Chain A
Amino acid sequence: METQQKKFLVNEKEVNRIITRMAHEIIEKNHGAKELCIIGIRTRGVYVGERLANIIKKIENVEVPVGILDITLYRDDVDSIDKQPIVKETDIPFDITNKKILLVDDVLFTGRSTRAALDAIMDFGRPKEIQLAVLIDRGHRELPIQADFVGKKVFTSLKEIVEVNLKEIDNIDQIKIVNIK
């Protein structure tokens, strides 16, 4: 895929501010962080989830466990995607039954990844509640799914990609909009 015209949306400092604000909102809405478990969707949802957990710990002094979810096997497009994704391990080292699950992803787009993640979580047990937190909501939903916590809402065209870079994997914190040629 050739890309051009990168448009900076959010820089490093702002990424931190957004995540910090989201952490506060999460604590506020849940009246603390007890019973809360974070499950991050591979790959970048995991890092956003870990950062949220760190901030929550600083504020509330509560250890929020973070699990990793690989949704590849739950996707609805296994035989139509060009590059078949590599299946990676899911690692949810806690029992989710009767817990409040905060599902974390980097970008909310069609809603299909969230759908796949919800199905996957349900196979692990019966949580009390699932909330959704995303760094960017770029619109264009194809399923009736909304996030409970949104870092930033962006209006995009279908010809654009939202590229999230995080230090843990990309060495830099930034969010860009890129045009697909």
Chain B
Amino acid sequence: MRLKRKDLLGLEDLDAKEIELILKTAKPFKELFTRSIKKVPTLRGKTVVNLFYEPSTRTKASFELAEKRLSADVLNISVPTSSVVKGETLIDTGKTIEAMMADFVVIRHSMAGAPHLLAKEIKSSVINAGDGTHEHPTQALLDMFTMKEKKGTLKGLRVILIGDILHSRVARSNIWGLTKMGAKVTVVGPATLIPSKIEKMGVDVSYHLEEVISKADVIYTLRIQKERQKQHLFPSLREYTELYGINTARLKMMKKNVIIMHPGPMNRGIEISSDVADGPHSVITEQITNGIAIRMAILYLLSGGETRELTR
């Protein structure tokens, strides 16, 4: 069994079986973390380039650890956003990396579709580590892995995504993945941050957090960015917290075995209060650990077999 694809660009493209395979493969990788030597020789001699056009701490660290634990050679290239417009084009950068015989390119970019453009042009496997407000497939996979680990199954699971859905690639990838795996997803947030026609993705929409939280098995709250206030998307952070913040009072309205998730980095006291973030329902730190296992599984599954062909 293997992923019959060159690239991992988004969960929109994957079917339930492929998602299942990735989640299943991540399990033995997680087991590796209990060993004193956490490294295996699987990708020895392979080269992975982490091409980051956007600052990222956790995703980059997670990928780098995953790559190193698989014994791949890792090269990090960080391109400041300012030079995206002026500097070398993405395709030229991609061609340069390809000429260095990279087997994988992990790309994070501030613009939707950048990984797709790269994947069309180069033979290396391209893994999307977040493109603009489009997709963040590895994050959603680690989230689903965490939910499955905690809840046993994704089928019928009630997941509530809270916050800035409009600008969230994490939300989009989770919606694709979770709906394909049979979970019931509700998105909650101010009307200005719910994108047009999102119901067509198979989710319910609510503007009122307290009307929906009692049914949730998983509460997934997203980072709210201050800049959005300037774009007239909500009046103030204070009002946002009042309407959509997850705190102890709201936790009491939820199921006893609810789990609380966040993709990080958190704005403590804004979308989530510290006591909830650090409390017994929170699985936020486990998400981070699981992220490494998921990324190892993806690298392993994309490394297999047949010679790679350009997909275009």
Contacts and interface: CB of A to CB of B under 8 A. Distances in A.
In their complex, do chains A and B touch, with some C-beta pair under 8 Å?
yes
A73 interface: yes
B294 to A, nearest CB: 13
B110 interface: no
A75 B70 CA distance: 12
B42 A73 contact: yes
A87 B29 contact: yes
B31 interface: yes
Contact of A89 (B31, B297, B305, B306): B31
Interface stretch (A19-27, A33-41, A77-85, A171-179): A77-85
B300 A87 contact: yes
A169 interface: no
Nearest to A120: B40
B305 A81 contact: yes
A84 B28 contact: no
A161 B190 CA distance: 64
Interface residues of B, number: 25
A79 B305 contact: yes
A83 B3 CA distance: 10
A84 B305 contact: yes
Contacts of B303: 78-79
A78 B304 contact: yes
Interface size class of A (residues with CB under 8 A): 20 to 34
B35 A123 contact: yes
Interface in B6-48: 24-25, 27-29, 31-32, 35-37, 39-43
Interface string A88-118: 1111000000000000000000000000000
B79 interface: no
A137 interface: no
A26 B306 CA distance: 42
A172 to B, nearest CB: 26
B37 A70 contact: no
Interface string A131-167: 0000000000000000000000000000000000000
B305 A70 contact: no
Nearest to B29: A87
Interface of B: 1-2, 24-25, 27-29, 31-32, 35-37, 39-43, 70, 297, 300-301, 303-306
9 contacts: A72-B42, A73-B40, A73-B41, A73-B300, A79-B304, A84-B305, A123-B39, A124-B37, A125-B36
Q: Give 4 nearest A-B pairs by CB, closest first.
A: A84-B304, A84-B2, A73-B40, A123-B37
